[in-house]
Amino acid sequence: MKRISLTRHLVEEQRLNNTIPAELRLLIEVVARACKTISHAVGKGALGEVLGSAESENVQGEVQKKLDILSNEILLEANEWGGHLAAMASEEMETIHPIPNRYPMGEYLLLFDPLDGSSNIDVNVSIGTIFSVLKARDGMEAPTEQDFMQPGSKQVAAGYAVYGPQTMLVLTTGHGVNCFTLDREMGSWVLTQRNMQIPEDTQEFAINASNARHWHPPVTRYVNEMQEGATGPLGKDFNMRWIASMVADVHRILNRGGIFMYPADARDPGKPGKLRLMYEANPMSMIVEQAGGAATDGKQRMLDVQPTTLHQRVPVFLGSKNEVERVTRYHQE
Ligand code: P6P
């Protein structure tokens, strides 16, 4: 394949679909550059003295890793001077991060999980950065958290970087999903997969099965049916994968199909699952839908969920369309 750079892809996408104005192209290129820096830091591991805990907790009450904090800082510093953003929000920060007065404000809101899958950092398993882009309200003076409370269908772009054997960037601006591989020698993102498509059927599911005793009946029914295999109601055998790094699990599903589930369960009725809506479920759901898959919270289309708070959690069922529709149907019966 002829080497198409990220910049060339964005320019050609703008010519074709008029969906990437210059400010959005700058935003995407800045985020992609920040992901290169994060990849470099992650790749050093112990040699970079960035492994281990930071002896602090984030707003989720999760122990922060040094790389979590470093990745967050890399994204903040990369994005605050460009004039393309009105504000940012991150899993690692309790409140929104307005653009400092010394820089001009732009028309976009950027949300991100700077390093998702932190529990895997110290054991060298793939981790990633997830980001979501919304439009800010016109004529807004000082952005507030309320300005971020937009359903996922309002995203103008979404993407993730996965730091694995290869470092890859997966991106959608509403016209399909494209994947770029980092050429480490040149330091550039090269288009390696165009218009990724998730198979509508699958024989592979992803869930943390250690929580089985806490699942609600629709999830128990569905997983049992898959485990009954060819002699059961689904008439085929299933395989299971759980990397415990959403970016890695979603990347596998994007490439070969599958269904990813992080359901609410009986452990804590006040906690609807573990994953966060604004900077995990929504961007991944836009990507999955743009690749011909489906994503719901068990009851409704994920991208239709109306957010109420910045760090709210949501049950997640996403991946191969026919299986997501099945498990969602079970919730509605
Ligand atoms: P569990 C990582 O901490 C994460 O937020 C997602 O990336 C991943 O899918 C999930 O949590 C793993 O959760 O309960 O299996 O450790």
pLDDT band at 50 (very low <50, low <70, confident <90, very high): confident
Average pLDDT over residues 8-20: 93
CA of 117 to the centre of ligand 1 (A): 6
Rounded to whole angstroms, the Cα distance separating 147 from 133 reads 12
| Greater model confidence, 203 or 141 | 203
Nearest CA to ligand 1 atom 16: 244
For atom 14 of ligand 1, the residue with the nearest CA is 208
Is it the case that residue 1 has pLDDT exceeding 70? no
Atom of ligand 1 nearest to the CA of 119: 3
**Distance (Å) from CA 297 to ligand 1 centroid:** 16
Does the CB atom of residue 271 touch ligand 1 within 6 A?
A: no
| CA dihedral angle for residue 152, residue 156, residue 157, residue 158, rounded to 10 degrees | -10
CB of 116 shorter than 6 A to ligand 1: yes
Which range, of 25-29, 56-60, 232-236, averages the lowest pLDDT? 56-60
Residues forming a β-bridge with 104: none
CB-ligand 1 contact for 113 (6 Å cutoff): no
* Residue 155 near residue 133 (C-beta atoms within 8 A): yes
pLDDT, position 94? 97
From the CB of residue 213, how many other CB atoms can be counted at a distance below 10 Å?
9
Work out the average pLDDT over 241-262. Answer: 98
Which residue type does 29 have? E
Q: Is 274 in the pocket of ligand 1 (CB under 6 A)?
A: yes
Question: Which pairs from 96-105 meet CB under 8 Å and 24+ separation?
Answer: 96/143, 96/144, 96/145, 96/148, 96/310, 98/142, 98/143
Query: How confident is the model at residue 63, as a pLDDT?
Result: 75
Closest Cα to atom 13, ligand 1: which residue? 244
Structure confidence at residue 49 (pLDDT) = 75
What domains can be seen in the chain, in order of their start residue?
6-193 (3.30.540.10), 204-332 (3.40.190.80)
Mean pLDDT of 49-71: 81
272-298 pLDDT per residue, tens: 999 999 999 999 999 999 999 999 999
Across all residues in the chain, what is the average pLDDT? 95
Q: Inform me whether the pLDDT recorded for 139 exceeds 80.
A: no
Q: With bands split at pLDDT 50, 70 and 90, how would you rate the model's confidence at 45?
A: confident
